[in-house]
A = this chain, B = another copy of it.
Amino acid sequence: MEFIIARDTFLHALSRVSGFVEKKSQNNSVLSSVLLQAEGGTLRYTGTDKMLTLLGSVPATVSRPGEIAVDAGYLLNTVKSLAGDTVRCVLLDQQRLEVQCGTSNFRLVGQPASEFPVTPPLDQSRSLRIPAASLSRLLDQTLFSVASDDNRYGLNGAHFEQVSGADGSPYLRIVATDGNRLSWSQAPFSGELAIGRKSLVPRKGLAEVRRLIEGAKADVEIAFGERAAVVRLEDCTIHVRLLEADFPDYRQVLPSTFKRKAVANRVDLQEALKRVLIFAQDSSRSVKFAFTESMLTLTSRKLDAGESKEEASVDLHGEPITMGFNGRFLLDVLGVLDSTMVVLELGDTLSPCLVKSPDSGDALFVVMPVRLD
């Protein structure tokens, strides 16, 4: 194998792949490597931890085709350190990859490409297309609600499904919950959402997709198979193993009626909440919300540290009520909305609270209250 490649192109590819390889590998595991395959005018690169795989390709001048797996971290650091514009890579004997640029000469210990795990192919003929900016919003509005508790396996991912928008056209809806809060967010798509057996995409896959589409302008393609889903960008594909679990019937927990409705300025409420959270107990992040007709008073108290009180204007329809929330959970929701005002639909003291933007039905959030001491 021998190829010449632009240093910045190579660096961009290796930076991308670094989130997909195993970090602290024992025994020089091949899973901490990136697989390089040079052929034609292309360098293909693959990184995987077996659950999550990135496959990408970049242009390169290949004078001798070939393939090798080398440690992704060392190769990234090597290419990052280079000062020249182009890099020459040559596969030497004993699986060593020579990386050469200007007066710099590196030889990295590699492993045969045959030891690198094969990513099972996936039929991508039936796929949906969605603008990258839409998918970014869907992920931003749901990722924080995915359970981080590994014991709740069926909640360690986000559920993908097709729903009908207000105009009857097909929408992709992503739903996540950790049992104490729930988010769903939806956006129109073209093409076809053909779910296989499962449609639960694990947290790490969602986070890496979110990272990769940051700032992307183009459409993203998504296809589901029996055991995996693929997300395709312009020049790379993410292959995600789906969780072998069923997502709960989330519609059951969505309150259909409410007794009280409070409308507040979103940023004012966000700022007030940030302040009272300083003295919320570490474990529960519990904040007391006292709603009156035109005023919301937030209070918190932390043993041996202090207490705080904040006021924010609200417009309350319904009887005054005092209830507790995990302030962090509400803050997460306020941070992923962009409307000026925010609507809280409330029931009784221990009923779920529904949070949404007054002017868009494309995202909905449910936060369970906490008992006040």
Task: State the Cβ distance, A82 to closest chain B Cβ, in Å.
Answer: 7
Tell me which residues across on chain B come within 8 A of A279, comparing CB atoms. Answer: 74, 106
CB distance from A309 to the nearest CB of B (A): 4
Contact of A307 among B107, B306, B311 (CB under 8 A): B107
Within 8 A of B (CB), among A306-323: 306-312
The 5 closest A-B CB pairs, nearest first, are: A108-B306, A103-B311, A105-B309, A81-B275, A106-B308
Say yes or no: A272 contacts B105, CB within 8 Å: no
The CA-CA distance from A81 to B109 in the complex, in Å, is 51
| A373 located at the interface, meaning its Cβ lies under 8 Å from any Cβ of chain B in the complex | no
Q: Does A28 contact B (CB under 8 A)?
A: yes
11 extra interface residue pairs, beta carbon distance < 8 Å, beyond A81-B274, A104-B272, A107-B308: A74-B305, A77-B278, A81-B275, A81-B278, A103-B310, A104-B275, A104-B310, A108-B305, A108-B306, A109-B305, A109-B306
The minimal Cβ–Cβ distance linking A46 to chain B, given in whole angstroms, is: 20
Give the number of chain A interface residues (Cβ < 8 Å). Answer: 31
Interface pairs (14), CB distance under 8 Å: A78-B278, A78-B308, A81-B275, A82-B275, A103-B312, A104-B272, A104-B309, A105-B309, A105-B310, A106-B278, A106-B306, A106-B308, A107-B307, A108-B305
Is A93's beta carbon under 8 Å from chain B? no
Give the residues from 68 to 84 in chain A that come closer than 8 angstroms, CB to CB, to chain B.
71, 74, 77-78, 81-83
Give the residues in chain B near A96, CB-CB below 8 Å. 306
A residues whose Cβ falls under 8 Å from a Cβ of B: 28, 71, 74, 77-78, 81-83, 96, 103-109, 271-272, 274-275, 278-279, 304-312
Q: Which residues of B contact A311 (CB under 8 A)?
A: 103
B304 touches A109 (CB 8 A): yes
A366 CA / B266 CA spacing, docked (Å): 60
**What is the CA–CA distance of A308 and B96 in the complex, to the nearest angstrom?**
12
Q: How far is the CB of A105 from chain B (nearest CB, A)?
A: 4
Specify which chain B residues have a CB less than 8 angstroms from the CB of A310 in the assembled complex: 103-105
Instruction: List residues of chain B with CB within 8 A of the CB of A77.
Output: 278
CA distance A373 to B5 in the complex (A): 35
Cα-based distance from A104 to B274 in the complex (angstroms): 11
